[in-house]
């Protein structure tokens, strides 16, 4: 098990069999980070770092981490400036960038400006990015809580929901 401090990037490992904790390990290749997330995608341990300061997000980088040595092996990709602007949203104030992972998809969103979801697909050692406008965020729902997660949903699942008449297409 890995535990990462989102502010510093310090990471600890815990072996549940021996009940032993190891670390800290500093995963951040860049010194100017204010948000660090770790997770597993496409069978790899990844690190996503928000570079800059809270009031001035400069870029977002994604690294593949060696699960044994906890060293950043390879830069998977750096977010293009236009995508960084979408992640910032309508304000320069970037609270916390949050991440959800599922298979080869990584979903990023700004917890303070939830209008846009950034999707990163891990392909051939690199990253293909896109964004999706979050249509449920409007003036009436802006201050409400939002939970973003990733899940496998197939056609059989959609058929079940349709049979229950619980599917609402927006």
Q: In the beta sheet, which residues pair with residue 12?
A: 3
Contacts of 45 (CB under 8 A, 6+ apart): 2, 38, 39, 64, 65, 66, 67
pLDDT, residue 138, reads 65
If we measure between CA atoms, which residue out of 101, 118, 119 comes closest to residue 40?
A: 101
Number of domain units in the chain: 1
Closest CA to 79 of 38, 45, 130, 114: 130
Residue 18's pLDDT is what?
94
| pLDDT over threshold 60, residue 28 | yes
pLDDT in tens, 56-66: 888 999 999 99
Each residue's pLDDT tens digit, 77-127: 999 999 998 888 776 666 678 888 988 999 998 877 777 889 999 998 889
Query: Is 169 inside any structural domain?
Result: no
63 located within any domain: yes
CA angle 123–106–132, rounded 5-degree value? 100
20 inside domain: yes
Q: Which residues lie across from 46 on neighbouring strands? A: 39, 64
- Assigned domain for 43 exists: yes
pLDDT of residue 98: 85
Q: What is the pLDDT of residue 17?
A: 92
The reply to whether 166 falls in a domain is: no
146 pLDDT tier (thresholds 50, 70, 90):
low
Nearest to 83 by CA among 120, 137, 114, 40: 120
* Long-range contacts formed by 25-34: CB under 8 A, 24+ apart: 25/70, 27/63, 27/65, 27/70, 27/72, 29/61, 29/63, 29/72, 30/61, 32/58, 33/9, 34/7
Q: Which domain holds residue 88?
A: 2-150
Say whether pTM exceeds 0.75: yes
* Residue 160 forms part of a structural domain: no
In the predicted model, is pLDDT for residue 149 greater than 70? no
Evaluate whether residue 84 is within a structural domain: yes
CB-CB contact of 94 with 54 (8 Å): yes
Contact 118/108 with Cβ under 8 angstroms?
A: yes
Helix (H) or strand (E) holding 162: helix 155-163
119 in a domain, yes or no?
yes
Which pair of tokens denotes residue 132? 């999706």
């Amino acid at each position: 098990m890995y535990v990462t401090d989102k502010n510093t990037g310090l990471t600890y490992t815990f072996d549940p069999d021996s009940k032993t904790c190891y670390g800290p390990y500093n995963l951040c290749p860049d010194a100017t980070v204010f948000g660090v997330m770790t997770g597993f995608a496409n069978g790899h341990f990844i690190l996503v770092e928000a570079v800059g300061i809270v009031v001035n997000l400069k870029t977002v980088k994604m690294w593949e981490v060696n699960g044994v040595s906890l060293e950043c092996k390879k830069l998977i990709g750096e977010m293009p400036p236009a995508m960084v602007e979408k992640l910032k949203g309508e304000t320069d104030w970037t609270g916390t960038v949050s991440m959800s992972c599922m298979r080869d998809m990584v979903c990023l969103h700004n917890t303070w400006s939830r209008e846009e979801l950034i999707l990163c697909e891990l392909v051939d050692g690199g990253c293909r990015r896109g964004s999706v406008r979050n249509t449920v965020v409007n003036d009436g729902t802006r201050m409400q809580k939002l939970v973003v997660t990733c899940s496998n949903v197939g056609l059989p699942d959609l058929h079940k929901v349709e049979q229950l008449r619980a599917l609402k297409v927006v």
